Structure 1
Amino acid sequence: MIFENIKLAFFAMRASKLRTALSLLGIVIGVASVVAILTIGESASKSITESIAVGGLDLITIYPSYGQRTTGTFTEDFSNTLLKNIDGIETILPMNNSNAQIRNGQENLSAAVAGVPSSYGKVLNLPYAEGSFFSDMDNINRRQVVVIGHDIATELFPDGSALGQYISIFRNQAKSYLIVGILEKKDATYSLSYDTSVFIPYNTYEQRFRNTSSVGSYVLKVSPAFETIAVSDKVTEFLDNLVGTDGYNLFSPATLAEMANEITGTFSAFLAAIAAISLLVGGIGIMNIMLVSVAERTKEIGIRKALGASPSVIRGQFISEALTLTLIGGILGIVLGALLSFSVTNVMKWSLHLSYSSFILAMGFSMFVGVFFGWYPAMKASKLDPIEALNYE
């Protein structure tokens, strides 16, 4: 019976192609809009997250305020204080940085000089074009060694490899540093441009480069078993009690990514809800074509009833027609929505993430519209008196 109803539905659609096409158009546009908006929203959210992830979604950075750096609270030993009081921290990297002039012969440029522990490269998973990060012994012995970014290596050593060469770093006076590593080109994060930075051992920076005991920032790596945002909240509470809300700034890429996802998700859902209105408009079009179809096929309905067709059979026939219409419109809408999503993400240079949940949502809603708006015409057809229907002109 179901297959027979579907065959009758296709026969009815072929009998009035233009009217069917116009009715399908509303469903196609509605489904395509919902699919495209949700897919583009998810693609935008994932692309934003991927960009933020360059800074490390499992990292938290603490920046002591300028006034707090002279109080003796934020020193290298403060790392141990955090490890003892906050669960979920795998490691802490103290860090200092400032700008300086870098020179090789006649080549001269300004760059950020960062004093970091020897584990910095491993924790942040830095990629190397040549060499490696300096060792723990380099840090302990305060050796004047340096790891340089891609752009610095290119500008200071345009004619050959920089590895094993010396550069001069000017602070109060020029000092020579041996290049032990060169980073591959790497996207900048919220706090640092790797391509235009140089890294020296933390102890070298503290005692030979700037002569300071305070720490400019701390990079916290969260253990895999813990949620970064939850650990960030604990660190915030601890620091608020220790130095007050004005004593530091805290930044976590994971928090930023969550905020971005919430904003894009809410905005996409809002637009999808608006787009779904066109599905309701399409449903009204389906009701219209079904009512016209009932009127045109009144005599046919009368003949079927005279031959023994029950009201439920007649009702099922017209509901099947409405469902077939919305099913076809839904499939075409999904295809169109996917193509629109591909085009937009390609233009915006985002990675495409198809929202399969939007396919199910749009198709389910379109079929609901078919049943909802097809029910009344079907009920009207099933209640026709067979004698009056046979005499209908």
Structure 2
Amino acid sequence: MLFENIKLAFNAMRGSKLRTVLSLLGIIIGVASVVAILTIGASASQSITDSIAVGGLDMITIYPSYGQRSTGIFDEEFSDMLIRDIDGLEIVLPQNNSNAQVRNGKETINASVSGVLSEYGSVLNLEFAEGSFFSAMDNINRRQVVVLGSAIADELFPDGQAVGQYVSLFRNQAKSYLIVGVLESKDATFNLSYNNTVFIPYNTYTQRFARATSVGAYVLKVKSGFDTIEVSDRVTEYLDGIVGTDGYNLFSPASLAEMANQITGTFSAFLAAIAAISLLVGGIGIMNIMLVSVAERTKEIGIRKALGASPNVIRGQFICEALTLTIIGGLLGITVGALLSYAVTNLMDWSLHLSYTSVILALGFSMFVGVFFGWYPAMKASRLDPIDALNYE
């Protein structure tokens, strides 16, 4: 019976092609809009997350305020306090930054100088075009070695082969540093431009380069299996109790990514809800074509009833016809929405992340529309009196 009803539905659609196409347009546009909006939203969210993830979604950075740096709280031992008192931290790395001139021969450029421990390169997954990061012994012995960001290396050594050569760092006085590594190009995070930074051992920075007595920043790595946002909340609570809310700034890529995803998700859902209105408009079109179909086939209904067809059979025939229309429209709409999503994400240079939830939601809603708006015409057809139907002109 089901296959017979589907066959009758296709025969009815072929009998009035233009009317069928016009009725399908509302469903196609509605489904395509929902799929495209949710897919583009998901792709935008993933693109934002990928950009933020450059800084490490399992990383937290603490920046002590200038007023707190002279209190003696934010020193090197504070790293050990954080590891001891806060569950979920794998390592805490102190970091100091300042600006200096970097010279190679006659070429001089301005750059950021960052004093870090030897673990910094592996913790932040830094990749190298040449050489490697400096060692723990370089830090212990306060050696004057340096790792160059890619932009600085390209400027000072356009012919390559920077490793093994020397550059001079100018702050209060010029000092010569041996180049041990050159970083691959890496997108800037919200707190550091890797390409325009030179890295030197932390002890070299604090005792030979800038004579720093306090720590300018702490880079925290969260242990695997721990939620970064929960650990970040614990760090915030811990710092509030020590220096107050104005004593520091805390940056967590994971928190920023979650906030960005919530914003794009809410906005996408809002737009998708608006787009779904067109599905209701398409449903009205389906109801219209079904009412016309009932009117045109009144005699056919009368004959079927006279031959013993029950109201349930007649009702099932017209509901099946409405469902067939909306399923076809839904599938075409999914195809159009996917193509539109591909075009937009390709134009914006985002990776495409097809929202399967939107596909299921849009197709399911279109089927609901078919049943909802096809029910009244089907009921009307099933209640026709066979004698009146046979005498209908």
Q: Is the pair's TM-score, using the shorter chain for normalization, greater than 0.5?
A: yes
Structure 2 match to 1:191: 191
CA shift, 1:151, in A, is 1.1
- Three-state SS of the structure 2 residue aligned to 1:205 is helix
Q: What whole-Å deviation, never above 9, does each CA across 1:82-136 have from its counterpart, x for those lacking one?
A: 1111000000010001000000110000000000001000100100011100000
Q: How far did 1:160 drift?
A: 3.7
CA deviation after TM superposition for structure 1 residue 159, in Å: 3.0
Q: What 5-or-longer segments of structure 2 have no aligned partner?
A: none
* Structure 1 CA distance for aligned equivalents of residues 360 and 261 of structure 2: 21
Q: Deviations over 1:333-384 (max 9, x none)?
A: 0000000000000111111000111110000000000000000000000000
> Which AA in structure 1 matches 2:193?
S
- 1:55 paired residue number: 55
Cα deviation, 1:37-66, whole Å, max 9, x if unaligned, reads 000000000000000000100000000000
Q: How does 1:1-393 map to 2 (within 5 A)?
A: 1-393=1-393
Deviation by residue 1:160-201 (Cα, 9 ceiling, x = unmatched): 411100000011100000000111111111111111110000
**Greater than 6 Å deviation, 4+ residue runs:** none
Letter in 2 for 1:254: A
Deviations 1:234-276 (A, max 9, x none): 0000000100000000000000000000000000000000000
Shift of 1:137: 0.4
Q: Following the alignment from structure 2 to structure 1, what is the Cα–Cα distance between the partners of residues 177 and 243?
A: 37
Matches of 1:233 and 1:196 in 2, distance apart? 31
Secondary structure of the equivalent of 1:224?
Answer: coil
Displacement after TM superposition at 1:225 (Å): 1.3
State how far apart, in whole Å, the 2-side matches of 1:341 and 1:287 are. Answer: 30
Question: In the aligned structure 1, how far is the partner of 2:211 from the partner of 2:186?
Answer: 30
Distance 2:180 2:326 in 1: 66
| Code of the aligned partner of 2:311 | P
Name the CA distance, whole Å, in 2 between partners of 1:20 and 1:158. Answer: 66
Distance in 1 separating the partners of 2:284 and 2:234: 54
Aligned residue identity for 1:64: P
Secondary structure of 2:43's counterpart equals helix
| Superposition TM-score, scaled by structure 1 size | 1.00
CA distance in structure 1 between the aligned counterparts of 2:110 and 2:320, rounded to whole angstroms? 73
What SS class does the counterpart of residue 70 from structure 1 fall into? Answer: coil
Identity between Structure 1 and Structure 2 (%): 79
Once residues 145 and 84 of structure 1 are traced to their aligned partners in structure 2, the CA distance between those partners, rounded to angstroms, is 31
C-alpha distance in structure 2 between counterparts of 1:36 and 1:159, whole Å: 47
CA offset at residue 157 of structure 1?
A: 1.3
Q: Answer with 152-161 or 361-370: which moved more.
A: 152-161
1:280 Cα deviation (Å)?
0.3
**Deviation of 1:80 (Å):** 0.7
